[in-house]
Structure 1
Amino acid sequence: MQFNSGDTSRIIEMAWEDRTPFEAIEHLYGLNYSQLVNFMRNNVSVGSFKVWRKRHVGRVTKHLKLRDPAVGRSHCKTQYKNR
C-alpha cells in the first residue's frame, strides 16, 4: 500500500501511542498487525524500529482483546485540550 506523507506520519504516530490499539490502525488504514510491523520496519530507522518492537510486544493497551474495558479512550483526557 502507498500512503502520502501525512498518512505515513499519522500511522507512525498511532503505532507509537500506548493507548491506540492496533485494531484502530487496521480500521483506518487497512494495515493488520503484520503489515504494520513491515510498514514500521520500512518507514522508521533501524534503532527506532527495535525500540518500538520492544516497547509494544505484549502491551495490553495496544490490543483490544487484552485491554481493560475501562480504558475507553485512545488518548489521555488532557492530550487534545483546547488552550
Structure 2
Amino acid sequence: MAWEDRTSFEAIRTQFGLTPGEVIKLMRAQMTPSSFKMWRKRTSGRTTKHDARFSAAVGSKARRFRAKHQRD
C-alpha cells in the first residue's frame, strides 16, 4: 500500500496502525537503497499521500482505499 501513490498514509494507519514514520522505516528496511530513494522522492510533498493536503487540493471529497476487486 505504501508503494501505491494514491494510498494515503492515513489509510495505511487505519488498516495497519502504522504512523508515517513507521511506514518510512519499514520501506527503508524492505527496499534496496536506490528503490527507497526513488520512493521517498516520489512521495515527498505528494498531495495524494496525505489526506489533509488532498482535501485542500480537490475540495472536501471523502475518499477511502479500495482495491480494484472490492465492491462499493
TM tier, smaller: 0.7 to 0.9
TM-score, normalised to structure 2's length? 0.77
Distance 1:56 1:71, change over 3 A: farther
Q: Is the 8 A contact 1:19 1:73 kept in 2?
A: no
The reply to whether residue 72 of structure 1 matches residue 63 of structure 2 is yes
**Which of 29, 35, 52 is the matching residue for 2:39?**
52
CA RMSD of aligned residues (A): 1.9
Structure 1: unaligned runs, 5 residues or longer: 1-13
C-alpha spacing 1:43/1:25, structure 2 compared with 1 (3 Å): same
Return 5+ residue gaps in structure 2 as ranges. Answer: none
Q: Percent identity?
A: 43
Q: 2: CA distance between counterparts of 1:23 and 1:80? A: 19
Aligned-pair distance for 1:18? 1.4
Give the structure-1-normalised TM-score.
Answer: 0.67
